[in-house]
């Protein structure tokens, strides 16, 4: 091994040290998560079952979107042979690798499908011509087959890219990068199809009469906002704890901020495109979805969402100074993460509470539950490996990144 390589491993092969607070994350967060799940189950008995399943779905979709967003970010690195982001790629790889957990967290969604999805009600379908014609797609067995396909695809992609990157840490074999690059094209196509259909199955079909052909992209655009916010927050937290100081610089934060800015605008573009066509065509079976969200207290939430997810970040994150200031970028990231959660809530909850916003304790407990388990697994993955893909052939390119 050359001097250079030894030096490189010393500098960038840093793992979370024993005794560091991050080492306790898996256990503490796991316990908190379990308590959240237990509390949710306890609170969600009897009458509250509907609320339990809808709240669970919101929390599930929120954290899943962060993991799926990270998967896209990792894949895009290979598709574009991107150099700049290698120093932060390991963080996203760890987030991406939590995807198998969501297969387990999907079980309550499957169990509660009769509470969530109107189209599972055979009685209702029998009296509904539209649902009957959609039955070849919207039926229970095909729904499960599709879910199995999504989770299989995501798990395979996550494992291939996570393990490939880890193996390169050990061997320094550059052919791994070439192999992962060659597979990234097909992987990203598979990703696009599965994420789109998952969004259709798990969110759009809550309102089975309604349809929007852009819906998959809508969920995807929010997922990217979620994952970039999360990455910024984790990177800042790790730097605070004394890690990544040689690797992740203000230039990387600047670029993550740019992506956060770009995807909040992309979300606005997609959200408006969806709204615009439906508003203009004014067909009853399409407008009903927006009617519900533009009445009573839901209207207030819609306005908050439009301003908070578009106008606020547009002016706040536009400035170079803000993106390069860690404290201000953190404020932006927290804001975007919360507004992304609101976005998911706004997609799902009006189906249950048609006449107005009704916050419930279960919204909180399910978030703590799923979030806790997600963060526990993420924390465990984070402590297992170096925080930077230390022998990636493009690491040096990433470390010398500069924005002009």
Positions in the binding site for another protein (CB under 8 A): 272, 275-276, 279-280, 282, 318, 320, 402
Least Å distance, CB 404 to another protein, is: 8
> CA–CA distance from 111 to each of 103, 117, 301 (Å)?
13, 11, 29
The residue (of 318 and 354) whose beta carbon lies closer to another protein is 318
The residue (of 245 and 320) whose beta carbon lies closer to another protein is 320
Least Å distance, CB 251 to another protein, is: 12
The residue (of 237 and 306) whose beta carbon lies closer to another protein is 306
3-state secondary structure of 370: helix
The residue (of 144 and 279) whose beta carbon lies closer to another protein is 279
Least Å distance, CB 268 to another protein, is: 10
The residue (of 320 and 358) whose beta carbon lies closer to another protein is 320
Least Å distance, CB 186 to another protein, is: 34
Least Å distance, CB 349 to another protein, is: 24
The residue (of 144 and 315) whose beta carbon lies closer to another protein is 315
- The Cα angle at residue 286 between residues 281 and 290, in degrees rounded to 5: 100
DSSP secondary structure code for residue 16 in this structure: P
The residue (of 213 and 319) whose beta carbon lies closer to another protein is 319
- How far is Cα of residue 115 from the mean position of the Cα atoms in its chain? 24
The two tokens of residue 279 are 């508003």
From CA 149, how far away is CA 351, in angstroms rounded?
26
- Spatial contact of 72 and 191, defined as CB atoms under 8 Å apart: yes
- Spatial contact of 326 and 250, defined as CB atoms under 8 Å apart: yes
The residue (of 2 and 282) whose beta carbon lies closer to another protein is 282
* Helix then strand then coil, % of the chain, to nearest 5: 80, 0, 20
Least Å distance, CB 283 to another protein, is: 12
Q: Is 284 exposed, middle or buried (0-12, 13-18, 19+ CB in 10 A)?
A: exposed
Least Å distance, CB 180 to another protein, is: 30
Other Cβ atoms within 10 Å of 338 Cβ, number: 12
Other Cβ atoms within 10 Å of 138 Cβ, number: 20
Torsion 269-275-279-281 (CA) sign? positive
The residue (of 67 and 271) whose beta carbon lies closer to another protein is 271
- Spatial contact of 141 and 229, defined as CB atoms under 8 Å apart: no
- How far is Cα of residue 353 from the mean position of the Cα atoms in its chain? 24
> CA–CA distance from 346 to each of 99, 112, 219, 361 (Å)?
24, 20, 12, 17
Find, among 72, 33, 386, the residue nearest to 227 by Cα. 72
Least Å distance, CB 95 to another protein, is: 32
The two tokens of residue 315 are 């002016």
């Amino acid at each position: 091994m050359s001097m250079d390589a030894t030096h490189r491993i010393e500098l960038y092969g840093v793992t979370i040290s024993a005794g560091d607070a991050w080492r306790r994350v898996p256990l503490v967060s796991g316990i908190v998560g379990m308590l959240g799940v237990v509390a949710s189950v306890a609170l969600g008995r009897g009458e509250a079952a509907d609320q339990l399943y809808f709240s669970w779905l919101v929390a599930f979709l929120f954290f899943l979107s962060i993991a799926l967003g990270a998967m896209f970010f990792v894949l895009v690195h290979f598709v574009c042979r991107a150099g700049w982001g290698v120093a932060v790629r390991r963080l996203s790889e760890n987030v991406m690798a939590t995807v198998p957990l969501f297969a387990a967290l999907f079980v309550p969604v499957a169990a509660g499908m009769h509470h969530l999805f109107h189209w599972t009600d055979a009685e209702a379908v029998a009296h509904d011509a539209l649902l009957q014609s959609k039955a070849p797609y919207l039926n229970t067995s095909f729904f499960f087959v599709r879910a199995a396909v999504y989770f299989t695809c995501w798990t395979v992609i996550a494992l291939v890219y996570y393990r490939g990157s880890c193996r390169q840490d050990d061997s320094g074999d550059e052919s791994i990068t070439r192999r992962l690059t060659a597979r990234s094209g097909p992987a990203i196509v598979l990703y696009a199809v599965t994420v789109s259909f998952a969004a259709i199955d798990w969110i759009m079909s809550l309102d089975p009469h309604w349809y929007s052909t852009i819906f998959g992209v809508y969920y995807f655009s929010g997922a990217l906002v979620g994952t970039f916010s999360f990455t910024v927050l984790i990177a800042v937290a790790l730097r605070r704890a004394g890690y990544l100081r040689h690797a992740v610089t203000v230039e990387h934060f600047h670029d993550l901020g740019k992506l956060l800015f770009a995807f909040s605008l992309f979300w606005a573009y997609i959200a408006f495109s969806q709204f615009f066509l439906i508003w203009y065509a004014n067909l009853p079976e399409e407008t009903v979805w927006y009617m519900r969200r533009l009445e009573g207290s839901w209207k207030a939430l819609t306005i908050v969402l439009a301003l908070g997810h578009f106008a606020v970040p547009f002016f706040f994150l536009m400035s170079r100074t803000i993106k390069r200031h860690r404290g201000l970028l953190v404020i932006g990231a927290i804001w975007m993460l919360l507004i992304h959660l609101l976005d998911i809530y706004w997609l799902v909850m009006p189906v249950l509470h048609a006449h107005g916003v009704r916050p419930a304790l279960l919204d909180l407990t399910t978030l703590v539950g799923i979030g806790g388990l997600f963060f526990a697994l993420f924390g465990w993955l984070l402590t297992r490996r170096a925080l930077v893909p230390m022998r990636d052939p493009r690491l040096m390119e990433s470390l010398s990144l500069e924005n002009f």
